[in-house]
Structure 1
Amino acid sequence: MSTQKFDSAKLWDSFNFNRNSLMLHLTGRRYNGSLFSVTPTINKSIQEGIINLIEGQINYYNNQNLKQYDIVGSNDDTVEYADPNDFINELGEIFNSLKKPTAINNIDPNSFDFFTYEFKSANNESIYVFRKINRMKALKKGILGEIANGSFTKIKSSKLLGIDNAIDFIVIDDKIFIFHHISLERVLKLKDQFKDKAKDVLSNDEFAKKNKKFLINSRKEH
C-alpha cells in the first residue's frame, strides 16, 4: 500500500478565498481558563505579507508523508490530518471567542497564546490558520532598536508581537491539516486526552507482555 503524500497545491486551491477577507485574531486565556480574543485591524501590506507566508509554508510541506493524527506522537517530515469533530469542544470554544472579540484597551501582548488567521472562502465559509505566538524571549534579554537619522534608538520590546513564517495547523471544511504536532496540542489544550491515551496504552495487555519481555531480556544481558 503506497504512502499518502501531502498535496500543497490541492490544499491551496481549496482555499478559494477573497484576499481582502483576511482577519487577524489574537487569543489568550484568563486566570479561570476561559478564552478571550482580540481582532485588531491590519493594513493591506500586512494582509499580503501573511497570505504570502501561509502560501510559502504550505508549499514547504509539499509531498511530505500524510498520516492520520495520533495523539501519542508524530513522525518527522510528516503532515498529519484529523477530523475537526474529534476536537469539537476545543475548537468550538476558540471559534466562539473569535466571534465575540474583546475590546482592545491596553492589553498586555504577553497575555496572548496564539494567532488565528481567518479567511472567507468564495461560499463564505471560514478557513482558520493557527500559529502559536513567538514571545520573542531572546529579544527581551537584549536591546532591540532601530537606526533613524544616523542614531540607534531603543524600541520597547515589552509590547512587541512577532509574526514568524511558520504555521501550526489549518482547519478547512471537514479536515485539520497539522504541521506542528505539539503546537496543536498546546493550542487546543489536549493534555487530558494525552493522559487518557497513555493510560490506555499502558493498560494494554499486549504492551504489558512486550514490556515484561524487554525487562527479562535486559536482566539477562546484565
Structure 2
Amino acid sequence: MSLKEIHEILVDIDLEKNDHFVELYLINKKNTEEYYSYRLTVEKKLQEELIEIVSTAICNIQDKNICEYNPIGQVDSVIEKCNLDYIKNAENVLSSIEDDSPNRLESLPEIKDIHSYCTKITKGDISIISFRRFNKLRKLRAGFIGTVVEGRFKSLDGELIGLYNDVDIIIFNNDVFTLNHIALERIFDIGIQFKEKAKETIQDIKDKDIIDNFDKFEEDALNNLNVIKRLTKIKENQTLPKIFDNFENVPKVIEYFGLNIELNQSQDKIIYVDKTQIEDITLLMNDSYYETIIAGVPGIDKLK
C-alpha cells in the first residue's frame, strides 16, 4: 500500500464510530532485546491531534520518491522503506505494545528512562503504527509551569512529557517507512544487527586471505560505526565475490584514485597498517569507485 492510501485511511477516520481508536504508548528499553511499553489513556481531543500529526507527516512526504532502506545513509528528499522482517528487533518492540500486563502502568518508570513513544491508530482491522524518539521537557530553572482549568490556575507537578508534531517511522502491514534515517537505528537498536552482518563480511574477507595484518584490520573495522554499516552493505550487495574474482584490477583502482592502500610485492594482498586506510579499503570492497561512461569522469558512490 502507498503512502497516499494510508493518508486516505487516516483522513476518513471518525472517532465517533466504535471501530476507530487511538492508543499512545511510552516505550522503555531494558536492554538491546527487552522492551516494555506502557499504554496511556488518551482523551478524545488528543486522539484527534495524534491522528492529525501522523496524517500531516504523511501528507508532507507522500509525493516523494521511495527507495529501499540503506544502512549507510539516506539520500536527500527520498523516503526509505524496508520490510518489517529486515529489522531483527522489530518483533521485540511490537510485541511489547501488544502485551497488556495488568500492572504495567503501575510500574511506569521515570520519564528519563523512556526510550521512545508510539501511536497506534486503528480503523476496523487496519492498524497504522508510528514511532518517535522521546522528548523530555525539563522544568524551569526557577518558578513553575501551570495551566488554567475552569478559571483556576493549577501548577503542573512532576516531569512533563513532550510529543512532537511529526513522526520518525510509520509501519503499515509489513512496510516500514523511515522519515528519519537515524531514528530507525536508535528506536530498534538496529546497530547491533549491522554489527552481526559486518562480522559475516569480515569472515568472508578473512577466508580469502587477501589482507595482511588482518587482526588489526578486523579490530579497527568493528570499532567504527560507519565502517560497520559499509560492511553490512557489502554483504547485502554481495560485491565481495566480484572483488575476489577480479583482484587483478585492484592495483589499477588504487593508482587511478590515489587510494591509501598498499599491496604486497606480488600484488595479491592488501597490507593493512592503520585505521587511516579503513575507508578506502571498505569502499574498494564495495566496488564503490567508478568512471562515468560518457565523460569518463571518476567518482565514488559512498551510498552504494
TM-score of the two chains, using structure 2 as the length reference? 0.58
1:214 to 249, 253, 258: 258
Whole-angstrom distance in 2 between the partners of 1:56 and 1:176? 17
Aligned residues: 205
1:92 aligns with 2:91: yes
SS in structure 1 of the partner of residue 163 of structure 2: coil
Structure 1 residue 28 displacement after superposition: 0.8
Whole-angstrom distance in 2 between the partners of 1:117 and 1:147? 25
Whole-angstrom distance in 2 between the partners of 1:126 and 1:18? 14
Task: Describe the superposition over 1:172-191 as per-residue Cα deviations: whole angstroms up to 9, x where unpaired.
Answer: 12311110111011111011
**Map of 1:3 onto structure 2:** none
Structure 1 residue 58 displacement after superposition: 1.0
**Map of 1:71 onto structure 2:** 71
**Map of 1:12 onto structure 2:** 7
**Where do 4+ consecutive residues of structure 1 move more than 3 Å?**
14-20, 139-144, 146-149, 151-156, 200-206, 208-214
**Map of 1:4 onto structure 2:** none
Whole-angstrom distance in 2 between the partners of 1:172 and 1:63? 17
Whole-angstrom distance in 2 between the partners of 1:145 and 1:86? 43
Structure 1 residue 8 displacement after superposition: 4.4
**Map of 1:199 onto structure 2:** 231
Whole-angstrom distance in 2 between the partners of 1:77 and 1:91? 25
Moved more, 159-168 or 101-110: 101-110
What are the ranges of 5 or more consecutive residues in structure 2 without an aligned counterpart? 199-228, 262-304
What are the ranges of 5 or more consecutive residues in structure 1 without an aligned counterpart? 1-6, 218-222
TM-score of the two chains, using structure 1 as the length reference? 0.77
Query: In structure 1, what residue type is equivalent to 2:130?
Result: V
Cα 1:22–1:66 shift into 2, 3 Å: same
RMSD, aligned CA: 3.3
Q: If you compute each CA radius of gyration, which structure gives the higher value, 1 or 2?
A: 2
1:48 aligns with 2:92: no
Cα 1:172–1:215 shift into 2, 3 Å: same
Whole-angstrom distance in 2 between the partners of 1:153 and 1:120? 34
Contact kept? 2:71, 2:230, Cα under 8 Å: no
**Map of 1:132 onto structure 2:** 133
Contact kept? 1:72, 1:194, Cα under 8 Å: no
Whole-angstrom distance in 1 between the partners of 2:161 and 2:254? 46
Identity among equivalent positions (%) equals: 19
Contact kept? 2:51, 2:121, Cα under 8 Å: no
Structure 1 residue 117 displacement after superposition: 0.8
Task: Describe the superposition over 1:113-157 as per-residue Cα deviations: whole angstroms up to 9, x where unpaired.
Answer: 1111112233x1432111111123xx44745523659x998644x
Whole-angstrom distance in 1 between the partners of 2:130 and 2:76? 21
Structure 1 residue 14 displacement after superposition: 4.7
Whole-angstrom distance in 2 between the partners of 1:132 and 1:140? 19
Contact kept? 1:83, 1:176, Cα under 8 Å: yes
Whole-angstrom distance in 2 between the partners of 1:192 and 1:32? 8
Cα 1:81–1:31 shift into 2, 3 Å: closer
